[in-house]
Amino acid sequence: MNKTALSVWENCLSFIKDNINTQAYKTWFEPIKPVKFADNVLSIQVPSKFFYEWLEEHFIQILKVALTKELGEGAKLLYVIKMENTYGNKQPFTEKIPSTNRASLKNQNVSAPLKNKSPELRNPFIIPGIRNVKIESQLNPNYNFDNFLEGDSNRLARSAGLAVANKPGGTAFNPLLIFGGVGLGKTHLAHAIGVEIKDKYPEKTVLYISAEKFIQQYTDSVRKNNRNDFIHFYQIIDILIIDDVQFFSGKAGTQDVFFHIFNHLHQNGKQIILTSDKAPVDMQDIEQRLLSRFKWGLSAELQHPDFETRVAILKNKLYRDGVEMEDDIIEYVAKHIKSNVRELEGAIVSLIAQSSFNKKEITIALAKQIVEKFVKQTKKEISIDYIQKIVSDYFQMDVSTLQSKTRKRHIVQARQLAMFFAKKFTKASLASIGSQIGKRDHATVLHACKTVNNLSSTDKQFKKYVEDLHKKITL
- Of 452 and 431, the structure prediction assigns the larger pLDDT to 452
31-35, 54-58, 176-180: lowest mean pLDDT where? 54-58
The reported pLDDT for the residue numbered 408 is 92
pLDDT at 128 over 60: no
The reported pLDDT for the residue numbered 380 is 56
Supply the mean pLDDT for the chain: 81
Task: Please give the radius of gyration of the chain, using alpha carbons only, rounded to the nearest integer.
Answer: 28
The reported pLDDT for the residue numbered 255 is 92
Averaged pLDDT for residues 269-292: 87
The reported pLDDT for the residue numbered 52 is 78
The verdict on pTM exceeding 0.75 is no
How confident is residue 123, by pLDDT bands cut at 50, 70 and 90?
A: very low
Structural domains of the chain ordered from first start: 5-101 (3.30.300.180), 155-302 (3.40.50.300), 307-377 (1.10.8.60), 384-474 (1.10.1750.10)
Averaged pLDDT for residues 87-104: 45
Q: What angle do CA 382, 386, 391 make, to 5 degrees?
A: 115
pLDDT at 402 over 90: yes
| pLDDT (tens digit per residue) in 295-306 | 888 888 888 777
| pLDDT (tens digit per residue) in 199-242 | 999 889 899 999 999 998 898 888 888 888 888 889 889 999 99
- Of 409 and 334, the structure prediction assigns the larger pLDDT to 409
The reported pLDDT for the residue numbered 50 is 67
62-71, 121-130, 278-287, 377-386: lowest mean pLDDT where? 121-130
The reported pLDDT for the residue numbered 283 is 81
pLDDT at 447 over 90: yes
Averaged pLDDT for residues 6-19: 91
Give the amino acid at 374: F
pLDDT at 160 over 50: yes
| pLDDT (tens digit per residue) in 257-267 | 999 999 999 98
Q: How far is CA 389 from the centre of its chain?
A: 25
The reported pLDDT for the residue numbered 206 is 92
How confident is residue 367, by pLDDT bands cut at 50, 70 and 90?
A: confident
Averaged pLDDT for residues 154-183: 89
The reported pLDDT for the residue numbered 96 is 60
